[in-house]
Amino acid sequence: MTDYIQEFFPTHSCFVIADDTVAGLYGNRLQQAFTDLQSFRGILEFPAGEASKNRQHKDALEDQLLVEKAGRDSLIIAMGGGVTGDMAGYIAATLHRGLPLIHLPTSLLAQVDSSVGGKVGINHPSGKNLIGAFYQPQAVFADMDFLKTLSDEEFFNGMGEVIKYAVILDDELWQILEDESAAIIDRDPVLLQEVVTRCAALKIQVVEADEKESSYRSILNYGHTVGHAIEQLGQYKLKHGFAIAAGMRIAAKLSESVLGYPASRVERLNKLLDTYHLNQVDYRDYNFEAIWECLKTDKKSRQQKPKFSLMNKDNQPELLYPIEKAELHDVFFGE
């Protein structure tokens, strides 16, 4: 990465943004790697966790950057997981009306999903990712070695997004996840590289077709409509992938109920989520009325009417599909 920076941003001052957990794990190694990078200005830290993805911490980081005289000739490196990428990316998009951005994703979730595609932003008390922008990075550097230090919980958190890609876009990946589950859970580096590469390629294809999510890109929200509501109601203490797994169970059941999605695929999805320990969140533990209220303020809603990304009987996506309260109620409380 330093060679890339020296070639393309030789005169830019370089600031790394990382949460305190990632900075503690990799800060010294990064300092050593950047020894020959005279433009390196240090690591700016914030508290780890989804709850930190808010205006308060964004403002604090911007204040630090301005104190350090960060200007349009500065480069932002987002080193960490999805929270860091979202918030550091939003800072890069808005400070001085736009600074170049590089993603250095350290989590599986960030490598397969959030670092690719240009969505950046922060949360609001009314909902997740309600404040933000589309802002593409100059480059993304995904190193499989980072995945070795992930906790099991964080690893399975990322597998929630991996499974999403398999279900909506890649039957071959779905089969790999089933056939090679033991080796993937054991973090076989060859398999992980294939998984990360396939997911990133799938997302790039979708984003190239619909960068600003006017239509087709919304397929990537499969499982996220109810999943985001669960995150919000849990005060962002739940990891994203586990909430999205619960959301995918609902999305699959809705797909079967209203669009004829095959019951066999619903069963396969539920088994796969169990295999990767993504059965720790039960959507029925949350109040249905509270979830419905969250859905009405979701950024995909129109006239406070929830829209879902679903799959139809031909295993093709149905995008921004309107769901009535009674339809969700029947699925929510059904077997």
Mean pLDDT value across residues 262-278:
97
Buried b (16+ CB within 10 A) or exposed e, 96-131: eeebbbbbbbbbbbbbbbbbbbbbbbbbbeebbbeb
* Token pair belonging to 96: 């001085």
302 or 278: which leads in pLDDT: 278
Question: With 70 as the cut, is the pLDDT of residue 275 above it?
Answer: yes
Give the pLDDT of residue 215. 86
Question: With 70 as the cut, is the pLDDT of residue 303 above it?
Answer: no
Tens of pLDDT, residues 135-188: 999 999 999 999 998 999 999 999 999 999 999 999 999 999 999 999 999 999
Give the pLDDT of residue 304. 67
Tens of pLDDT, residues 29-78: 998 888 888 899 999 999 999 999 999 999 999 999 999 999 999 999 99
Catalytic residues: 97, 119, 161, 203, 213, 217, 221, 224, 228, 240
Give the pLDDT of residue 302. 61
Tens of pLDDT, residues 190-247: 999 999 999 999 999 999 999 988 889 999 999 999 999 999 999 888 999 999 999 9
Q: How confident is the model at residue 89 (pLDDT cuts 50, 70, 90)?
A: very high
Q: How confident is the model at residue 300 (pLDDT cuts 50, 70, 90)?
A: low
Question: With 90 as the cut, is the pLDDT of residue 309 above it?
Answer: yes
Question: With 80 as the cut, is the pLDDT of residue 298 above it?
Answer: no
Give the pLDDT of residue 36. 81
| pTM score of the predicted model | 0.91
Q: How confident is the model at residue 299 (pLDDT cuts 50, 70, 90)?
A: low
Question: With 80 as the cut, is the pLDDT of residue 124 above it?
Answer: yes
Question: With 80 as the cut, is the pLDDT of residue 16 above it?
Answer: yes
CA pair distance 192, 40, nearest whole angstrom: 31
Q: For the chain, what percentages of helix, strand and coil (3-state, to nearest 5) are there?
A: 55, 15, 25
The CATH label, of 3.40.50.1970, 3.40.50.261, 3.40.50.150, 3.40.50.280, for the domain at 2-147 is 3.40.50.1970
Round the average pLDDT of the chain to a whole number and report it: 94
CA pair distance 176, 81, nearest whole angstrom: 25
Q: Please determine whether the domains at 2-147 and 152-333 fall in the same fold group of CATH.
A: no
Highest mean pLDDT among 4-13, 89-98, 297-306, 318-327: 89-98
Kindly state which CATH superfamily the domain 152-333 is placed in. Answer: Dehydroquinate synthase-like - alpha domain (1.20.1090.10)
CA pair distance 220, 309, nearest whole angstrom: 8
Closest CA to 15 of 47, 45, 41, 46: 41
Cβ burial, residue 133 (10 Å; 0-12/13-18/19+): middle
Q: Where are the domains of the chain?
A: 2-147, 152-333
